[in-house]
Amino acid sequence: MERLKTISFLVLLTAIFVSCSSNKKTQKKQNTKIIQNTKKKKIIDNRYKDNPLVASYDVNKDGNADMWKIYQEIKTNDDQTKKILSRREIDLNFDGKVNYYKFYSQKGNIKKEYIDLDLNGFIDTIRYYEKNLIIKEENFKKNPINKDLTINENIKPYKRYLYKHQKLNRVVIDRTHNGTLDSYLFFRKNKLIQIGFDDDDDGKIDTRVRLKAKINLEKAKGKNKNDK
């Protein structure tokens, strides 16, 4: 009975995840809009004053910088130097604290994003990319980013999403809130097909529940809405 309760909890969580990810998409659209509306002009920049490798922008025109492009100089094959975009930073709510970082490889591909989804000034989400496609997202309760923008490996995520060919493949959750990911949800074609539990926190699944009745996420989402 307990297990059944847990399964229903996880299914509900999945439905919530699906609705959250569509919110994120909207947020991303808005970000793009902000970038398009930006024009370069003289502004107060308290973080990157006179840094020749940083371009600052004032999106909301309040006189303070709220978007930055950080460049890096690299040597080309013919011994010349060239400036390439290494990261973007955005203060989404104009309070002086950066809420979004996007990192690029030297070839111009997206490497990762640090996101402060609830806009409280602390990064809570990291997304990793390969060939510009998302492969992993991790959610944190504590800011996992060091001052030099490296990742503090000691701070563990409470949720991890793994993608294959841009489709959600697995969700791993720290259901017991002890810092170890212990519950696994497996997806095929957006359908939850199996749930696994690591009961002793050793990283190996001890119990697997295969879902006979295929749970369609869209249906689960609809049900969730009706319940409200």
**In the complex, what is the shortest distance from the CB of residue 198 to Ca ion, in angstroms, rounded to a whole number?**
4
Q: Which positions from 100 through 139 interact with Ca ion, judged by CB under 5 A?
A: 116, 118, 120, 122, 124
The Cα 113–Cα 125 span in angstroms is 8
Q: What count of other Cβ atoms lies within 10 Å of the Cβ of residue 20?
A: 10
The answer to whether residues 197 and 181 touch, using CB atoms and an 8 Å cutoff, is no
Token pair, residue 111, equals 């490497």
Candidate ranges 17-25, 47-55, 79-87, 92-100; the one touching Ca ion (CB under 5 A) = 92-100
CB of 159 to Ca ion, least distance (A): 14
Determine the longest span between alpha carbons in the chain, in angstroms: 69
State both tokens at 90. Answer: 């955005």
Instruction: Give least dist CB 89 to Ca ion, A.
Output: 10
CB of 150 to Ca ion, least distance (A): 18
Taking residues 56 to 75 in sequence order and writing x for each that binds Ca ion by CB under 5 A, - otherwise, the string is: --x-x-x-x-x---------
**Other Cβ atoms closer than 10 A to 137:** 21
40 binds Ca ion (CB under 5 A): no
Smallest separation, CB 7 to Ca ion (Å): 18
Site size for Ca ion, by CB under 5 A?
A: 20
Please identify which residue in 6, 31, 38, 93 interacts with Ca ion, judged by CB under 5 A. 93
> Who's near 160: CB < 8 A, 6+ residues apart?
136, 137, 138, 139, 171, 172, 173, 181
Closest approach, Cβ 122 to Ca ion, in A, equals 4
Q: Give the up-direction half-sphere exposure of residue 101: CA atoms within 13 A in the CB hemisphere.
A: 21
97 lines the binding site for Ca ion (CB under 5 A): yes
**Nearest CB to Ca ion, comparing residues 95 and 130:** 95
List Cα–Cα distances, 20 to 27, 128, 220, 221, in angstroms: 11, 18, 14, 11
Query: Which residue, 40 or 214, is less far from Ca ion as judged by CB?
Result: 40
Interacting residues with Ca ion between 145 and 204 (CB under 5 A): 198, 200, 202, 204
Query: Which residue's CB is nearer to Ca ion, number 173 or number 220?
Result: 173
Instruction: Give the binding site for Ca ion (CB under 5 A).
Output: 58, 60, 62, 64, 66, 91, 93, 95, 97, 99, 116, 118, 120, 122, 124, 198, 200, 202, 204, 206
